[in-house]
């Protein structure tokens, strides 16, 4: 007899309906993923599973309950904080401090020029050097980065996807020159290029040659670096870009399948490399969903790898790093972020992650300070030492709700994976731009929910803090960092054997023309002190640089506001504007410099268009001069600059200069949105920026401000 037909349940249902004055069947809430959450789950909800197996154990097929039998009862997860600060020297200091205070692994963040394969002295990257991470131009920088950190004892994780070849080569050479053979190096390189094409945009070459490079690295490490993880297949950035958990899960696993195929096409046996594949997921604020996601990921991966013919048990097991969600952090009332991060961390632990990064509460505004980084690390130390969560493996197993949710997520993700496979795999899907568009659609929906108030964000759209606390943030002197890097490059270029470098680079270019593994000639070039930029250019000669086509969703944002007063107010202001001025208000939305995070820009573009603006989208990686030309030719009323990588202090004044150079009488107004520390506001206003919209700004309110500013500006004429 099932529960629902028994008297107990009927009685419960009656009480429920009496208390809530709602029919039980209507009392569901729909998640972003389109899953209906019921107010109660029973034993019935454990039936008819096709993925989850009810009686499985940790460390056993299908590994839902964890990759290891003992999990944290034997050894807790690794606290691995991601960090990188401008220069190798500063980063090195930071690492050493962290290692002293209990951190076990290192995680390196690189600056955007390094990601995109440009040297610090390249004109294209003026505003980006040392922002959002450390600048690496040559192996000398890498050696400083790991000075007095024994690389045979420390596991190093590197977030690098675009310029993987020169960066991994520099790491190997730095180890060698420290006296550590490459076979002893341990750690992970992200090397996950597919998601770059979907969300983060720090690619260099087109998808196909990029996949070849991924396969080269898997091949090389599986033979020469047995302790090194060749790839970290990342869903993190998808969730950061607005993907819901099903999309994140499905696309990440589908990416993984594509990498497995790429490696197998090199003639490797699946068991030669699969045990060294690792994953990376984001953990947001939807507490149980995130737990279920990690459990579902392991369940699905085991099935996928079995289908690939894996024999070794280690090939079937998904191991993952997790990071708390950056996009859930708010600029408003920032101490709330400590609380958000704590719950997210607990989710990751209950989901069974192998390592974790907890964000600092000020990361919605700037790079963390020593103090905020300490709080972030302590969040994990408290979980490990005070809460008792390490004492029982997979404590939520058997929960009617969590098990059911794990199954539901698995099913939904499996459907999407099947779709992608039918399209011919992820490389093809990515080239067609489908996943990117789906993620942007999901992001726009989420934003609309927050802006319309149907999703509460404490301190942002409800329970606002009347006295916003002011927070000290880390300030980076970008020009100083760039000057220092340029001096270092010049010195190295003088002292190295230029002929030998040129020959090594020519060898590399030649190698790119056939099927040779590119890491070997890359290491040679780096050893001779070729720069990251030179190595990237040598390959670019054969592969070219990739420029993404930009597709946009429309109507998704507006749909959430049918009949909304504020929305209609902006719409009618725009209609009035059109009647007076003979055209709609026209806004150019741009990203400048090497920052490829375009979720914000895309959401602004699509929602502004839904309200009635004509929106010009600029290509990624534009220089301020290009933006000025574009804006003037299209005679836009305003330029919206989206900035998330701290380049605005250099790039915005350059833009203003560019506008005046083409048209001394230019009346185009400029507004800036994204991650901008309050300390920079005055500087930007002094440079004639008309408005600044920080993270968590309500888009409708922002749009109204923009249309008002444009109208005011025109009436001054």
Partner 1 sequence: MELVDKIIKGERAAIAKAITLVESSKDTDQQISRQLISELIKKPGKSIRVGFSGPPGVGKSTFIESFGSYLVSQNYKLGILAIDPSSQITGGSILGDKTRMVEISKNPNTFIRSTPSRGTLGGISMGTREASIILDAAGYDFIFIETVGVGQSEIVASNLVDIFTLIVGPGSGDELQGIKKGITEYADIFIVNKNDGELKMEASKTAADYKSALSYYKKLDELEKQVLLVSAIEQTGMEDVIKTINQIIDQNKLKGIFDERRADQLEYWIEEEVKNIIASDITNRLTSKGNIPKYSEKVMKNEMSMYEAVETITKDTLEQ
What is the closest distance, in whole angstroms, from the C-beta atom of residue 574 to partner 1 in the complex? 8
* Binding-site member from 93, 576, 633, 712 for partner 1 (CB under 8 A): 633
**Could you give the CA distance from residue 164 to residue 539 in angstroms, rounded to a whole number?**
12
321 assigned to active site = no
Q: Which is nearer to partner 1, 456 or 551 (CB)?
A: 551
> Which of the residues 195, 237, 560, 602 is marked catalytic?
237
**Could you give the CA distance from residue 585 to residue 575 in angstroms, rounded to a whole number?**
9
* Binding-site member from 289, 532, 620, 700 for partner 1 (CB under 8 A): 620
Q: Which is nearer to partner 1, 443 or 501 (CB)?
A: 443
Contact range with partner 1 by CB under 8 A, out of 70-78, 247-255, 619-627, 691-699: 619-627
What is the closest distance, in whole angstroms, from the C-beta atom of residue 164 to partner 1 in the complex? 23
Query: Bridge partners of 640?
Result: 589, 671
Quote helix, strand, coil % in the chain, to nearest 5: 50, 10, 35
* Binding-site member from 174, 489, 518, 574 for partner 1 (CB under 8 A): 574
**Pattern 504-533, binding to partner 1, x per CB under 8 A?**
------------------------------
* Binding-site member from 632, 681, 708, 713 for partner 1 (CB under 8 A): 632
82 assigned to active site = yes
Query: Is the bond preceding 62 in cis, omega lying within 30 degrees of 0?
Result: yes
What is the closest distance, in whole angstroms, from the C-beta atom of residue 668 to partner 1 in the complex? 10
- Cα angle, residue 30 at apex, residues 21 and 291 outer, rounded to 5°: 115
Q: Which is nearer to partner 1, 201 or 690 (CB)?
A: 201
What is the closest distance, in whole angstroms, from the C-beta atom of residue 219 to partner 1 in the complex? 24
Alpha carbon of residue 584 to chain centroid: 35
* Binding-site member from 384, 629, 683, 698 for partner 1 (CB under 8 A): 629
**Could you give the CA distance from residue 519 to residue 512 in angstroms, rounded to a whole number?**
10
User: Are 694 and 676 spatial neighbours (Cβ–Cβ below 8 Å)?
Assistant: yes
**Could you give the CA distance from residue 665 to residue 146 in angstroms, rounded to a whole number?**
52
Contact range with partner 1 by CB under 8 A, out of 107-115, 178-186, 519-527, 629-637: 629-637
Strands, sheet with 228-229, edge to edge from the N-terminal-most edge strand:
82-83, 105-108, 155-158, 186-189, 228-229
User: Are 668 and 639 spatial neighbours (Cβ–Cβ below 8 Å)?
Assistant: yes
Task: Check residue 548 for interaction with partner 1 (CB under 8 A).
Answer: yes
**Could you give the CA distance from residue 655 to residue 466 in angstroms, rounded to a whole number?**
35
> Which of the residues 115, 131, 597, 637 is marked catalytic?
597
> Which of the residues 255, 595, 610, 616 is marked catalytic?
595
Binding residues among 129-148 for partner 1 as defined by CB under 8 A: none
- What is the β-pairing status of strands 586-591 and 36-37? unpaired
> Which of the residues 38, 41, 44, 82 is marked catalytic?
82
**Could you give the CA distance from residue 422 to residue 414 in angstroms, rounded to a whole number?**
12
**Could you give the CA distance from residue 192 to residue 412 in angstroms, rounded to a whole number?**
23
What is the closest distance, in whole angstroms, from the C-beta atom of residue 371 to partner 1 in the complex? 41
What is the closest distance, in whole angstroms, from the C-beta atom of residue 508 to partner 1 in the complex? 22
Contact range with partner 1 by CB under 8 A, out of 282-290, 628-636, 640-648, 670-678: 628-636
Q: Which is nearer to partner 1, 433 or 696 (CB)?
A: 433
Q: Tokens standing for 367?
A: 């790079």
Q: Which is nearer to partner 1, 459 or 600 (CB)?
A: 600
User: Are 232 and 189 spatial neighbours (Cβ–Cβ below 8 Å)?
Assistant: yes
**Could you give the CA distance from residue 672 to residue 650 in angstroms, rounded to a whole number?**
13
357 assigned to active site = no
* Binding-site member from 21, 467, 494, 549 for partner 1 (CB under 8 A): 549
Alpha carbon of residue 701 to chain centroid: 27
What is the closest distance, in whole angstroms, from the C-beta atom of residue 257 to partner 1 in the complex? 21
Contact range with partner 1 by CB under 8 A, out of 335-343, 378-386, 467-475, 551-559: 551-559
What is the closest distance, in whole angstroms, from the C-beta atom of residue 634 to partner 1 in the complex? 6
* Binding-site member from 472, 635, 701, 712 for partner 1 (CB under 8 A): 635
> Which of the residues 63, 72, 205, 236 is marked catalytic?
236
Residue with tokens 């970290």: 232
> Which of the residues 115, 527, 591, 649 is marked catalytic?
591
Task: Check residue 558 for interaction with partner 1 (CB under 8 A).
Answer: yes
CA distances in angstroms from 18 to 11, 21, 559, listed in the order given: 11, 5, 34
Task: Check residue 705 for interaction with partner 1 (CB under 8 A).
Answer: no
CA distances in angstroms from 692 to 45, 363, 450, 609, listed in the order given: 49, 18, 19, 20
- What is the β-pairing status of strands 82-83 and 614-617? unpaired
Task: Check residue 552 for interaction with partner 1 (CB under 8 A).
Answer: yes
User: Are 308 and 272 spatial neighbours (Cβ–Cβ below 8 Å)?
Assistant: no
Alpha carbon of residue 381 to chain centroid: 25
Q: Tokens standing for 591?
A: 């990203």
What is the closest distance, in whole angstroms, from the C-beta atom of residue 110 to partner 1 in the complex? 24
What is the closest distance, in whole angstroms, from the C-beta atom of residue 191 to partner 1 in the complex? 24
648 assigned to active site = no
Q: Among positive and negative, which fits the CA dihedral 96, 98, 99, 104? A: negative
Closest CA relative to residue 325, chosen from 377, 296, 295, 287: 287
Q: Tokens standing for 202?
A: 């720090």
597 assigned to active site = yes
Task: Check residue 581 for interaction with partner 1 (CB under 8 A).
Answer: yes
Q: Which is nearer to partner 1, 17 or 663 (CB)?
A: 663
* Binding residue count for partner 1, defined by CB under 8 A: 44
Closest CA relative to residue 356, chosen from 84, 105, 59, 151: 105
Contact range with partner 1 by CB under 8 A, out of 5-13, 112-120, 183-191, 543-551: 543-551
**Pattern 653-692, binding to partner 1, x per CB under 8 A?**
---------xx-xx--------------------------
Binding residues among 589-618 for partner 1 as defined by CB under 8 A: 605-606, 608-618
What is the closest distance, in whole angstroms, from the C-beta atom of residue 514 to partner 1 in the complex? 17
- What is the β-pairing status of strands 228-229 and 186-189? parallel
The Cβ of residue 144 has, within 10 Å, a number of other Cβ atoms equal to 18
The DSSP letter of residue 679 is G
Q: Which is nearer to partner 1, 456 or 580 (CB)?
A: 580
Any idea which residues carry the catalytic annotation?
A: 82, 236-237, 591, 595, 597
Q: Which residues bind partner 1 (CB under 8 A)?
A: 547-552, 554-555, 558, 574, 578, 580-584, 605-606, 608-620, 623, 625-626, 629-630, 632-635, 662-663, 665-666
């Amino acid at each position: 007899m099932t529960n629902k037909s028994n008297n107990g349940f009927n009685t419960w249902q009656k009480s429920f309906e009496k208390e809530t004055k709602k029919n039980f069947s209507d009392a569901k809430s729909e998640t972003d993923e389109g899953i209906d959450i019921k107010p109660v789950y029973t034993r019935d909800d454990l039936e008819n599973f096709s993925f989850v197996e009810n009686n499985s154990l940790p460390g056993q097929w299908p590994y839902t309950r964890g990759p290891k039998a003992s999990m944290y009862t034997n050894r807790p997860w690794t606290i691995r904080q991601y960090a990188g600060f401008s220069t190798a020297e500063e980063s090195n200091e930071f690492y050493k401090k962290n290692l002293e205070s209990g951190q076990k692994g290192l995680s390196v963040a690189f600056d955007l020029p390094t990601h995109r394969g440009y040297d610090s002295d390249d004109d294209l990257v003026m505003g980006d050097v040392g922002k959002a991470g450390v600048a690496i131009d040559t192996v000398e920088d890498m050696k400083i980065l790991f000075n007095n950190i024994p690389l045979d004892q420390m596991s190093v994780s590197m977030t690098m996807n675009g310029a993987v070849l020169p960066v991994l080569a520099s790491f190997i050479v730095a180890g060698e020159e420290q006296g550590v053979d490459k076979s002893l190096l341990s750690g992970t390189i992200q090397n996950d290029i597919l998601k770059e094409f979907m969300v983060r945009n720090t690619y260099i070459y087109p998808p196909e040659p990029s996949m070849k490079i991924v396969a080269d690295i898997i091949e090389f490490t599986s033979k020469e670096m047995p302790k090194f993880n060749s790839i970290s297949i990342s869903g993190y950035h998808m969730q950061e870009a607005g993907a819901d958990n099903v999309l994140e899960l499905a696309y990440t696993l589908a990416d993984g399948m594509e990498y497995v195929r790429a490696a197998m096409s090199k003639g490797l046996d699946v068991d030669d490399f699969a045990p060294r594949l690792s994953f990376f997921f984001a953990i947001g604020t939807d507490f149980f969903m995130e737990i279920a996601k990690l459990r579902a990921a392991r369940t699905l991966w085991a099935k996928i790898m079995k289908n690939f013919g894996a024999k070794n048990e280690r090939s079937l097991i998904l191991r993952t790093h997790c990071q708390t969600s950056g996009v859930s952090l708010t600029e408003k009332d920032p101490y709330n972020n400590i609380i958000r991060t704590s719950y997210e961390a607990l989710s990751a632990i209950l989901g069974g992650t192998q390592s974790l990064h907890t964000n600092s509460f000020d990361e919605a505004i700037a790079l963390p300070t020593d103090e905020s980084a300490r709080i972030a690390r302590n969040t994990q130390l408290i979980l490990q030492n005070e809460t008792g969560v390490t004492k029982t493996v997979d404590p939520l197993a058997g929960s009617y709700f969590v098990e059911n949710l794990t199954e539901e997520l698995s099913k939904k993700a499996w459907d999407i994976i099947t779709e992608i496979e039918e399209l011919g795999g992820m490389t093809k899907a990515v080239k067609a731009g489908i996943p990117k568009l789906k993620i942007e659609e999901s992001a726009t929906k989420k934003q609309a929910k927050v802006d319309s108030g149907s999703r509460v964000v404490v301190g942002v759209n409800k329970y606002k803090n009347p006295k916003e606390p002011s927070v000290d943030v880390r300030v980076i002197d970008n020009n100083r960092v760039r000057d220092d890097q340029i001096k270092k490059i010049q010195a190295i270029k003088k002292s190295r054997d230029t002929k030998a470098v040129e020959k090594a680079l020519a060898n590399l270019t030649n190698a790119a023309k056939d099927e040779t593994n590119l890491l070997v000639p890359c290491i040679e070039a780096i050893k001779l002190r070729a720069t990251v930029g030179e190595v990237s250019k040598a390959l670019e000669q054969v592969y070219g640089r990739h420029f993404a086509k930009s597709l946009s969703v429309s109507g998704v944002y507006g749909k959430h506001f049918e009949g909304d007063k504020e929305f209609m107010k902006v719409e009618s202001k725009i209609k009035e504007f059109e009647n007076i001025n003979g055209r709609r208000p026209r806004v150019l939305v741009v990203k400048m410099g090497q920052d490829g995070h375009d979720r914000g820009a895309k959401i602004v573009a699509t929602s502004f268009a839904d309200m009635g603006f004509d929106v010009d989208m600029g290509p990624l990686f534009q220089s301020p001069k290009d933006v000025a030309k574009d804006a003037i030719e299209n005679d836009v009323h305003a330029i919206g600059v989206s900035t998330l990588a701290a380049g605005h202090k250099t790039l915005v004044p350059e833009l203003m200069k560019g506008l005046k150079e083409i048209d001394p009488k230019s009346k185009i107004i400029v507004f800036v949105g994204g991650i901008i520390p309050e300390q920079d506001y005055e500087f930007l206003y002094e440079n004639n920026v008309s408005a600044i919209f920080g993270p968590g700004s309500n888009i409708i309110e922002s749009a109204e401000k923009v249309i008002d500013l444009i109208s005011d500006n025109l009436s001054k004429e």
